[in-house]
Structure 1
Amino acid sequence: MRSHYTADKYHLLDLNCNSFTNDCAGFLTGGSIPAFVRDLPTDFLDTISGAALRPAGWAMYSRPSPVLPPSPGQPRTNPIASSLLEAVASQKRNNPPPQHPHQHPFPATKSLAGLMLQRPIRRRFRTLPTKPPRSRRDIHGPSGLRAVSDDSADL
């Protein structure tokens, strides 16, 4: 099996993880995985989405060619990009961000929390726990949920 399942032989449709699992199950137990699992890639390609992805998927997951592209030598540096990167890095080193240990990290969250503490009355959408609903309309009401005013501080 080791020589049969190699990286260069992998193919999304023909020789994939389902094929490997089926062969392993056959070797270990003498059985096989269910056909609907083995045929998932083919079943997907029979759908509208699969048909649309077939050309791109076929090219992307086709077997790689045995000829590898030449490896690039030393990467070329762009002097403009290098100088821009150096300028940003030096500015960050010279002007570190101010440290405010008591400042909330997200001002919008802080203002929302403060607003919630200032408002004594809150609106909640829930059913009353002391009175069980009599019918489906009592549970959902005409608008879907029932609003209840609550003076407690918890949400």
Structure 2
Amino acid sequence: MRPVLMDFGSATPATLRIEGIREAEKWKDFAEENCSLTYRAPEFFNPLNQQTITEKADVWSLGCLLYALIFFKSPMDLIHIRGDSVALAACSANIPFPKDSCFNVLPECMMLIKSMLAAKPQDRISFMQISDFFKNLPDGNVYCNSQNAVTYSF
């Protein structure tokens, strides 16, 4: 059996073309009601008239999920807990990465997450590139050690 992660509560077409200020406000309201603040792509914090939002917003959210699976918290959790602006942090790609030595993360995986969490959608990696990254991982085991650090062994 293969595990599947899914949440279709906020499913929308892969590409949204925003035509007009009223529609931009509609999508901003939709995101506020349906998208978790700490996983929301920067383009949903302040959608603009004549903007196209693509599947790169989902790449951002997937990057947040991968970050959370590795570090046991969302990249925006500490920002949110401190009461700082998650929107500002996301839009500036000011993503804090734990410096703890208990996290043994492959440098390639860190680069993958960083490329998924680029502030500008056009700078984010594509789903095809993400798929290729995982297909090209060598066989190994993922496990959690006594310090709760997720590691990948070959």
TM-score (norm. length: structure 2): 0.24
